[in-house]
Structure 1
Amino acid sequence: MDFNFLSPVSDFVLAHNELLSPQALGRKIKIHSSQQGMPDLEGVHVAIIGVLENRNDINYIGEEFRLDEIRNAFYNLFPGSWHMSIADLGDIEKGESVDDTYFALKETINTLVKNKIIPMVIGGSQDLTYPIYRAYDNLAPMVNIVNVDSKFDLGDSAKGLKNNSFVGKIILDQPYNLFNYATIGYQTYFNAQEEIDLMDSLYFESYRLGQVSHDITIVEPALRDADIVSVDLNSVKSSEVSLKQKVSPNGLDGKEICAIARYAGISNKVTSFGIYEYKPSKDDEITSMLVAQMLWYFIEGVNYRVKDDDFSEENTYQKFITLVDSEELVFYKSIKTGRWWIEIPFLSEVNNKLKRHTLLPCMHQDYKDACNNKVPERWYKAIRKNSL
């Protein structure tokens, strides 16, 4: 595997790591260092990559940042009962131009995903999601993205790529590989009504902050269906983060953002996870500890992945059929995990081998709603999106 674009973890972090308990995470993971070089990635399941690029932040005024505090916090934690190998591959430095950084990130993600290693990207500005999406151009025919964010980031796609317009670019730029886009934790007053209407007209999913805080489990099916998960740290409320990170008194709390990270990890489909908009503060390191805990929960989720979406053997699932307005809805429930899916009819007649692609993750509540003659919203949007 070729990782020319990555610089090693700083000696400052490695010196700090030497003082940790032998049981700490930092002593148990493989680390790219200037002394040892790039570690052997044979058998590695997840890998941390820092990206020191923030020039396309709309508020960029030339400030630099490092990720040492996040690494120190993460290395300090203790692993769970995990049966997997973790690596820290170091950082992608700023390129000569932003496009150079994008190219380096795209190539690195492409290599990792091809080799069945899940990248955990810690970054500057969230426009880095765009090159990650492009890394999938020759990996998957269609891609689902979940953005944990207070804003939709649709922006003005006629202008250059910025951290507030990368989603518009993803939707409009060829090749068109985006199937579903879901925003978790959006706050209405941060989004123009036209953008909210556009999300609806494209049949994309959006979960308001109030819905998510009321019942965090509603976001699990969207995360179970995602390939790429992108988290904007500005979606976290200001009481949970350091001074420079404070954006809004309302937002997700630490427990909710860690639950979302765990849902992303436990999804069999998620192959890249990123946390963006990190701004180090001199006042305290609470944000870096939050990011470290999010990474911990994502890895915890990956460790507990269960292959429960192969419905070829009848003894692994239960099947339920219900009628809604003369439409036959078919639900599947995994006996292993209790997770639910609903069948999307547009591919079911084409080819039986495609059956697993026609199943959309859903909740038990969707089945209960269908029994009460109410069409599940995720099912409706998937059907409409396919007919656009």
Structure 2
Amino acid sequence: MNFNFLSPVSDSVLAHNELLPAQALGRKLKIHSAQHGIPDLEDVNIAILGVLENRNDVNYIGEEFQLNEIRKSFYGLFPGSWNTTVADLGDINKGESVEDTYFALKESITILVKKNIIPIILGGSQDLTYSNYRAYDALIPMVNIVNVDAQFNLGDSTKPIKNNSFVGKIILDKPYNLFNYATIGYQTYFNSQEEIDLMDNLYFESYRLGAVSKDVTIVEPVLRDANIVSLDLTSVKGAEVSLKQKFSPNGLDGKEICAIARYAGISNKVTSFGIYEYKPSNDDELTSMLVAQILWYFIEGVNYRVKDDDFSDDRNYKKYITLVDSEELVFYKSNKTGRWWIEIPFLADVNNKLKRHTLLPCMHQDYLDACNNKVPDRWYKALQKNSV
């Protein structure tokens, strides 16, 4: 298997790891080291992959960065009662060009996902999400992306790709594999009205920071439906992170970002998870510990995945049918987990890539709203996208 572009975890991190208690996470990982090479991936469920690329950051001025502090913080945590095997594959260094780095990341993700290993990408700039998305060209026909971010990052797709405009490239570059794009925690004043209108016109989903802070559970269904989750650390409020990492006084707090990571982990569909825009500084402990805890909660979620979306056997679920404006809405509730889905009707005359009744994750509240004659927003947007 070709992982030539990976450099091992640094000796200083490995030396630090040797001093940790035997029960610590770092002592239970399979680690890519200079001495032993890339570990055997036979029974690995999750692989951590650093990517030291930030040249397409709009504010890039030639600075280098490394992920050692994150690794030290993460290795020092204690695992839950997990039966999940985690490997740390080290880092993809900057290529000759940014495109070389993109290629190396795309290839690595494709290899891992084909082996049913979930890559966790620890990145520099968030434009790396583009090559994460491209890795799915060889994997599945349609992709759902969730971006945890203060900004939509649509940008001007006619200009070269940057960390604040990569989504425009995802939407407009062939092959067109994007079905849904959702942003969690966006802050209106960081987004132009044109971008906000475009999100609406494309029937993409967005969850404002205020709504998420009021009730973080509203984002569980959209994460349950995601293939790729991309988390921008600038979505976290300034008080929660180190000096160089501070972006805005408002943002998601530590508990909310960890809850979102856990929802992403629990989702049966999420097959890659990225954390981006990490900026080390001299007072780094806070950010590196927050990233370590985000990782911990994602892995915790993966460990507790339950296969509850098999609707071929009617003993697995209860079915509810309700009428809204003469439209019949069909809901399913899993007997195993109590999670809800709503059926998107198949449109016979539409040549789309979803040739079946598609079940869309939703909340119990959506069913209650439908009983009160209110069409669920996610259902409406998915139906419109299927009609385009």
Q: Quote the offset at 1:284 in angstroms.
A: 3.4
CA contact (8 A) 1:311 1:356 kept: no
SS at match of 1:135: helix
CA contact (8 A) 2:145 2:230 kept: yes
Distance in 2 between residues matched to 1:43 and 1:160, nearest whole Å? 40
Give 1:218's aligned residue.
218
Distance in 1 between residues matched to 2:178 and 2:294, nearest whole Å? 26
Distance in 1 between residues matched to 2:173 and 2:228, nearest whole Å? 17
Give the number of equivalent residue pairs.
385
CA contact (8 A) 1:229 1:272 kept: yes
CA contact (8 A) 2:47 2:117 kept: yes
Give 1:283's aligned residue.
283
Q: Quote the offset at 1:357 in angstroms.
A: 6.0
Residue identity over aligned pairs, in percent, reads: 81
- Correspondence 1:8 to 2:8: yes
Distance in 2 between residues matched to 1:289 and 1:346, nearest whole Å? 46
Distance in 1 between residues matched to 2:260 and 2:171, nearest whole Å? 24
Give 1:96's aligned residue.
96
Distance in 2 between residues matched to 1:260 and 1:193, nearest whole Å? 26
Q: Kindly provide the CA deviation profile for residues 119-169 of structure 1, in whole angstroms up to 9, marking residues without a partner as x.
A: 000000000000000000010000000000000000111000000000000
State the one-letter code of the partner of 1:134. R
CA contact (8 A) 1:57 1:125 kept: yes
Give 2:380's aligned residue.
380
Give 1:58's aligned residue.
58
Q: Kindly provide the CA deviation profile for residues 321-340 of structure 1, in whole angstroms up to 9, marking residues without a partner as x.
A: 00000000000000100000
SS at match of 1:53: coil
Runs of 4+ in 1 over 2 A off after TM superposition: 347-350, 354-357
CA contact (8 A) 1:311 1:317 kept: yes
State the one-letter code of the partner of 2:188. T
Distance in 2 between residues matched to 1:331 and 1:347, nearest whole Å? 18
Distance in 1 between residues matched to 2:54 and 2:138, nearest whole Å? 26
Q: Kindly provide the CA deviation profile for residues 270-322 of structure 1, in whole angstroms up to 9, marking residues without a partner as x.
A: 00000000000102310000000000000000000000000111111000000
Q: Quote the offset at 1:344 in angstroms.
A: 0.6
Unaligned ranges ≥5, structure 1? none
Give 2:237's aligned residue.
237
User: How does the TM-score come out when normalised to structure 2?
Assistant: 0.98
User: How does the TM-score come out when normalised to structure 1?
Assistant: 0.98
CA contact (8 A) 1:333 1:339 kept: yes
Distance in 1 between residues matched to 2:76 and 2:116, nearest whole Å? 26
Q: Quote the offset at 1:51 in angstroms.
A: 0.1
Q: How does 1:112-151 map to 2 (within 5 A)?
A: 112-151=112-151
Distance in 1 between residues matched to 2:172 and 2:375, nearest whole Å? 30
Distance 1:381 1:203, change over 3 A: same
Distance in 1 between residues matched to 2:113 and 2:348, nearest whole Å? 29
CA contact (8 A) 2:346 2:355 kept: no
Q: Quote the offset at 1:113 in angstroms.
A: 0.4
C-alpha RMSD of matched pairs (Å): 1.3
Q: Kindly provide the CA deviation profile for residues 327-377 of structure 1, in whole angstroms up to 9, marking residues without a partner as x.
A: 000000001000000001016999xxx898610000000000000000000
Q: How does 1:360-371 map to 2 (within 5 A)?
A: 360-371=360-371
State the one-letter code of the partner of 2:210. G
Q: How does 1:1-388 map to 2 (within 5 A)?
A: 1-346=1-346, 358-388=358-388
CA contact (8 A) 1:348 1:358 kept: no
Distance in 2 between residues matched to 1:138 and 1:41, nearest whole Å? 21
SS at match of 1:275: strand
Distance in 2 between residues matched to 1:258 and 1:56, nearest whole Å? 27
Distance in 2 between residues matched to 1:310 and 1:341, nearest whole Å? 11
Q: Quote the offset at 1:4 in angstroms.
A: 1.0
State the one-letter code of the partner of 2:180. N
CA contact (8 A) 2:346 2:356 kept: no
Q: Kindly provide the CA deviation profile for residues 222-251 of structure 1, in whole angstroms up to 9, marking residues without a partner as x.
A: 000000000000000000000000010000
State the one-letter code of the partner of 2:360. L
SS at match of 2:167: helix
Distance in 1 between residues matched to 2:156 and 2:194, nearest whole Å? 12
Distance 1:79 1:55, change over 3 A: same
Q: Quote the offset at 1:44 in angstroms.
A: 0.3
State the one-letter code of the partner of 1:381. K
Distance in 1 between residues matched to 2:326 and 2:283, nearest whole Å? 61
Distance 1:99 1:349, change over 3 A: closer
Distance in 2 between residues matched to 1:8 and 1:360, nearest whole Å? 41
Unaligned ranges ≥5, structure 2? none
Distance in 2 between residues matched to 1:321 and 1:43, nearest whole Å? 42
Distance in 2 between residues matched to 1:224 and 1:44, nearest whole Å? 22
